Amino acid sequence: MAKPFPWTALVVAAALAVTASPAAAHITRIVIDPTLSESPAFEGRVFGPDGRVGPYEKLRGRAYGEVDPDDPRNAVITDLAGAPRNARGNVEYSMDIVILKPMNPGTGNRRLILDFNNRGDLRTAALNDAGLTNNPMKAADAGNGFLMDLGYAIAGNGWDFGASAEAGGLTISVPVARNAGGSSVTGPSYEYIVFDNPKSLRSTLTYPAATLDRMKARLTVRARLDDQPVEVPADGWEYVDARTIRLRPAGTPFRQSDIYEFTYTAKDPVVAAVGLAATRDFVSFLRHEAKDAAGAANPLAGAVRHTLSFSISQPSRTLNDFLALGFNQDERGRRVVDGMLKWTGGGSGVQINYRFAQPGRTERNRQNHLYPEGVFPFAYPVMTDHLSGRAAGRGARCEASGTCPRIFDANSANEYWVKAGSLLHTDTKGDDLADPAYVRFYLISGLSHGVGAPNNRSICQQLLNPTSPFPALRALLVALDRWVSDGTAPPPSQVPRRADGTAVMAVPRPGRQTGVVPRELLGWPAIPGVTYTGLITNRYHLDFGPLLDKGLVSKIPPSLADRRSYPIFVSRVDQDGNEVAGIRLPPVAAPLATTTGWALRREGFGENDGCEANGQSVPLRRTRAERQAAGDPRLSLEERYANHAGYVAGVGAAARRLETQRLLLPADVRRYIEEAEASEVLR
């Protein structure tokens, strides 16, 4: 078993080579817990070609910092002025941290990857095809060793106040805002409640209720998203305590898959966006400082030349706001993250810089609607929103300060179908935008938000989509690094565009929260046994009240009376139902199935409503006779490949084509071909 890491002795030499300026980054103290740290990590596994990177070490502990409320860069944080201050007039926070790094700093590649965690859970292990964990211990926890073989240092920090320490998440402690006299801040809050089981008896509120008077709160229910909500009478529910409600009589379960919405007056909002400043300051500290304010050495002192970030889903949306709010500029005016690889962030933000923030929420077909997540601006260039008249752009602050990172926004088909992903690269009227000089966009075709378990339906009608994005994301990380490090131009954007005819516009339906993508425009084939409704989540212009720009939501849930929506689109599909735009990985370009980013719920779970983050996989028939007997218009495996060797050749051609475009690495090309050779397809 690896011994705890004696970290101070091993980094002191590097620390002495760097000039310390601990006040600038406002990380006041780094405490590494030797009982949680290991050197070597991964059971002593050695990384890199011929072992030249060597073994890694793992550091776990906690960072302490403070934010100056009077610094204009921090003034954007909602309710920071109401947070308690220390003797220096600053607002304090503390957060969990994890660092993985080569034991010998000289063998690394001098790049730091910020693993911007999802609800407290690190995600870079997915690039290694390894299981996700915040505490890697075994050699297998490094998976294929992709990141370690390249010599990256990896760091993660708590930033989301809702992350659970009990579940092993990286946590952050942020202050609660108070009124000037010290009394509780109160205001409207909203809970969207769905349980896909019949046994849930209680619902926990994000914030405590300011009063337990049921007449000052409202609970509604509806079976499907486009139904009208029906109010639950005041005697039909009750407070268990200030943080919990339940239906009456006691023991009544929330109905399976029905949508409940609870509006009430809450108290004690946390200053959630301190998590953005904490992330800024942590990365800046690791990159620039020799030691903290207490004199403890920076574990990465002198070892970071460039910084990259990797994120999946919620933190990708958070980085959209991180950039828009100006947090990629540190307190000394320097760029924080040089390159961002954001997977499945779409054009949305996260609900972190609002009073009574709920950054753990995310809107999809019938999930967490009517929160301030999909709020203009969606794209990077400054433009005027034709619905609100407001002018803004996500890149405005970093462009003004010269601190924009180079960005790869990569999204699955699911982000286009249920999170209005096309708004990343269009104006608010739906017209194509030119790529900003520092951004490229990639649709990875036919993928769901996550990787579905094979041969599993969950609550959806069809099998889940098991196609993995990580072979393409590995190639994109390498391309992003080269763009950042030596200016090598990145692969061109690959997304549906109106200009080339690959984009199909969705049609809003007045009075409903969902729109449709017409079958004939999409090109969707009539596959036997597969329901096609064209269901897509509209992106409405919602009125959250006149103080939204100040982080105050006064109308919640917002009225849907206006019903003005932004144009959104998805990729057209081919004769198999597979998307024609984007990066077509071998499972799409040489298919065994039709794979989609959308899916529908099955009977008993809100039938024919959207199945949230899931996509589907509809297998092709094996022979011509089988498909003709079923009335399936898609060519069978036999008709398209002839035999097993033909299938292997098709996979190889698709993989090598992507390799020439720098969208697959040679190792992944080999893996695709080897998996095809080992398969039973047409044997």
d(CA 27, CA 176): 20
DSSP secondary structure string, 385-428? Answer: -TTT--EE-TTHHHHHHT-PPEEEEEEEHHHHHHS-GGGGSB-T
Count the alpha carbons within 13 Å of 529 in the hemisphere toward its beta carbon. 14
Residue 104 to residues 40, 300, 305, 393, Cα–Cα distance (Å): 11, 11, 16, 42
User: Residue 522 in contact with residue 470, Cβ under 8 Å?
Assistant: no
Peptide bond into 40 cis (omega under 30): yes
**CB distance 264 to 209 below 8 Å:** yes
Judged against a pLDDT cut of 80, whether residue 179 lies above it is answered with yes
Q: CA-to-CA distance for 344 and 581, rounded, in angstroms?
A: 16
CA–CA gap between residue 260 and residue 264 (Å, rounded): 13
Cα distances from 155 to residues 97, 165, 178, 328, 434, in angstroms, run 7, 18, 33, 17, 33
The whole-number pLDDT of residue 561 equals 66
What the block records as the tokens of 158 is 């708590």
Angle of CA points 616, 373, 608, to nearest 5°: 30
Tokens linked to 230: 């029906």
The pLDDT, as a whole number, for residue 365 is 83
Distance in angstroms (rounded) separating the CA atoms of residues 211 and 230: 23
**pLDDT of 371 strictly over 80:** yes
Q: Give the 3-state secondary structure of residue 534.
A: coil
The tally of CA atoms less than 13 A away on the side-chain side of residue 465 is: 29
pLDDT above 80 for 562? no
Query: Domain boundaries in the chain?
Result: 1-174+272-304, 186-267, 359-544+561-619, 631-683
Contact criterion met (CB below 8 Å) for 328 and 320: no
Could you give the C-alpha distances from 125 to 130, 310, 525, 664, in angstroms and in order? Answer: 5, 11, 37, 18
Mean pLDDT value of segment 657-673 = 98
Percent of the chain with pLDDT over 70: 96
Tokens for 469, please give them: 């994005």
- What is residue 385's predicted lDDT score, i.e. its pLDDT? 96
pLDDT in tens, 415-471: 999 999 999 999 999 999 999 999 999 999 999 999 999 999 999 999 999 999 999
Q: Which amino acid belongs to residue 254?
A: F
d(C-alpha 360, C-alpha 163), whole Å? 8
- CB distance 163 to 169 below 8 Å: yes
- Average pLDDT for the chain: 94
C-alpha radius of gyration, the chain, whole number: 25
Structure tokens at 257: 């898959």
Whole-angstrom CA distances from 400 to 77, 333, 394, 480, 502 are 19, 11, 12, 23, 34
Identify the CA nearest to 547 among candidates 188, 282, 222.
188
What confidence tier does 161 reach under pLDDT thresholds 50, 70, 90? Answer: very high
Which tens digits make up the pLDDT trace of 13-22? 333 333 344 4
| pLDDT confidence of residue 559 | 77
74-94 pLDDT, tens digit per residue, is 999 999 999 999 999 999 999
Q: What is the pLDDT of residue 509?
A: 85
| CA–CA distance, 18 with 22 (Å, rounded to integer) | 12
Indicate the pLDDT class of residue 25, thresholds 50, 70 and 90: low
The tens digit of pLDDT for each residue in 476-491 reads 999 999 999 999 999 9
Residue 365 near residue 225, CB atoms below 8 Å: yes
- Cis peptide leading into residue 469 (ω within 30°): no
Phi and psi based region of residue 106 (left: phi greater than 0; alpha: psi -120 to 50; beta: remaining):
alpha
